[in-house]
Amino acid sequence: MSHFEYSDEDLLMLSGIQHFAFCERQYALAYIEMQWSENVLTVEGHHLHERVDDLFAGESRGNLITLRSVSLVSHSLGLYGKADVVEYIRCEDIHGIELKTHQGRWLPMPVEYKRGKPKPDERDEVQLCAQAICLEEMHKISISSGSLYYGVTRHRHEVVFDDALRKKVIEYARLMHDYFDRGYTPPAKYKTHCKSCSLIDLCMPKNFEKPLNVDHYLIQNLEIE
């Protein structure tokens, strides 16, 4: 990982990395141009997270401590945000951390809650891995895996934070900062996943599928012969 560190003033929202992995233009419209539009998918997603946040602020059962809405930051990625859930699992080796409220050593593991079912791409895995990198920097430890919980399947899916996934997170974070600093919004390009995007009416990707013929536009709209 790069030794460069972003200042507090340069930190971007960690939640944006999932949008960037899904569509760079969606990220730019929502986080740079500050445009947003709710659809049924985002509304259901908000409700799921509200239910998570409405549960106990934290609970402890034997060898497991569960904390919710945990603040995160990584100055190497230049990202900050919150984890839905961080589970602290009791461990007996030096890789764990000490907690003020509990004896022993504990290893944190991020758990992210999502509506729907597992995605065909790695946007959710990228977000979870970014959360793990934040926890690693904050606690000066190494985290090998985390979990995604989906509302439809109601099952956890383990995510291993291997080198390939970590490199994607680092590259996405770098590009997010580059786009944000330049105020750059990529041009629209229609793809199948555009149908489920809450910003499709703002983005209008189909309007940019073919180059605009100026002469044809003038004839059709201005009645110039």
Does residue 209 fall inside a structural domain? yes
Separation CA 160–CA 142 (nearest Å):
12
Q: State yes or no: pLDDT of 95 exceeds 90.
A: no
Selection from 36, 43, 16 nearest residue 202 by Cα:
36
Q: Mean pLDDT over residues 195-210, rounded?
A: 64
Does residue 2 fall inside a structural domain? no
- Tell me the per-residue pLDDT of 125-177, one tens digit each, with 9 for 90 and over: 999 999 999 999 999 999 999 999 999 998 999 999 999 999 999 999 999 99
Q: Mean pLDDT over residues 41-67, rounded?
A: 60
Question: Is residue 78 classed exposed, middle or buried when 0-12, 13-18 and 19+ CB atoms within 10 A define those classes?
Answer: buried
Helix (H, G, I), strand (E, B) or coil at 151: coil
Domain count, the chain: 1
Does residue 3 fall inside a structural domain? no
Any bridge partners for residue 149, and if so which? 113, 156
Answer with the residue of higher pLDDT: 97 or 94: 97
Does residue 37 fall inside a structural domain? yes
Q: Mean pLDDT over residues 118-130, rounded?
A: 95
Does residue 112 fall inside a structural domain? yes
Q: Which two tokens stand for residue 195?
A: 């149908």
**pLDDT over 90 for what percent of the chain?**
51
Does residue 1 fall inside a structural domain? no
Q: Are 94 and 118 in contact (CB under 8 A)?
A: no
The enclosing domain of 153 has a CATH number of 3.90.320
pLDDT at 159: 98
Does residue 108 fall inside a structural domain? yes
- Tell me the per-residue pLDDT of 65-76, one tens digit each, with 9 for 90 and over: 999 999 999 999
HSE (CB half, 13 Å, CA atoms) of 51?
A: 10
- Give the global pTM: 0.79
Domain that holds residue 59: 8-222
